[in-house]
Amino acid sequence: MYLPDIYTSSPLWLTIDVERVEDANFGITPKKELDIDYPAVLERWHQLTDSHHLRSTAFVLGSFAQKFPQAIKALHDKGHEIACHGYDHQLVYQKPFEVWREQTALAKRILEDTIQAPVQGYRSPSWSLPFEKRYYEALVEMGFAYSSSYFPFKTYMYGNAIDKKNPFVITTPSGKITEIPVPKCLIPFSGGFYMRILPLFVTKRLFASLINRGVKPIIYTHPYELLPNLFQRFLSQVKLDKAYVLTFANTGESIKRFDTILQTFTEGRV
């Protein structure tokens, strides 16, 4: 079973899905391009990880890497793993299979050209990869060694009903690939909207519960979650649907929560 070094070297797997606010699948329609300095936002990620002597896996959109190649190269140069998040953030199951495959292969090439190193990992936008063998076979054929696209909680947009907590191997006609699911503990809790909304003491108990059962928690976030007062800053510039709360609620609290969680549950290993 293939597992990335950054996954195996820490009690928690710290991940960030590198995309723009506009890329999220929650009906965010900017009236104009939002004035966000993404390289500066990612510098906040460097500061957080450096302060805990940790490195992360960055699942990067190919379109983001085209726009901000130096920011992605900086992540790589600092020791973060660069992995693929697809080319754009459209839900996988909304695309024809062949279109998804071509765009994912393109994104992988863009990232590898940017960092001049192989890209081994894939995470589908919004956990939207269908749990079907043909998709995993295509990932194997593209040269991916692992995926982290399985979300064991069914929602209106994404997720799976079967609760898988630990990494598992999928065998395809073209070879094997490891799937690393994001484990839940009754409910999802370790990233995104879930981590921002749940009371911190509840989140800490859920982390401890998984760790005590020998399950490695996975933290996931997005650059826009590292910005304080994001909702107030851009409310006048964005047309929002009712799902805006999933993207904007309690943003700015992520850094504080990560500090507490990482201080509590890691040993500061790189």
Contact 215/181 with Cβ under 8 angstroms?
Answer: no
Per-residue tens of pLDDT for the chain, all 270 residues: 999 999 999 889 999 999 988 877 666 666 666 778 999 999 999 999 999 999 999 999 999 999 999 999 999 999 999 999 999 999 999 999 999 999 999 999 999 999 999 999 999 999 999 999 999 999 999 999 999 999 998 887 888 989 999 999 999 999 999 999 999 988 899 998 888 888 999 999 999 999 999 999 999 999 988 887 665 666 555 665 555 555 666 766 778 888 899 999 885 443
CATH architecture designation of domain 5-265: Alpha-Beta Barrel (3.20)
C-alpha atoms less than 13 angstroms from C-alpha of 202 in its C-beta half-sphere:
13
What is the chain's length?
270
The residues, ordered by sequence, that sit 6+ positions from 44 with a Cβ below 8 Å of its Cβ are 226, 255
Q: Give the CA angle between residues 12, 250, 254 to the nearest 5°.
A: 25
Helix axes 200-212, 254-265, angle to 10 degrees: 30
Q: Is 26 helix (H, G, I), strand (E, B) or coil?
A: coil
Q: Do residues 246 and 37 lie in contact, with contact meaning Cβ atoms separated by under 8 Å?
A: no
Hey, what are 246's tokens? Answer: 């999933």
DSSP state letters, 100-162:
HHHHHHHHHHHHHHHHTS---EE--GGG---S-HHHHHHHHHHT--EE----SS--SSS--SS
pLDDT of res. 235: 59
How far apart, in Å, are the Cα atoms of 159 and each of 28, 94, 128, 154, 171? Answer: 21, 14, 7, 4, 21
Query: What is the residue extent of each domain of the chain?
Result: 5-265
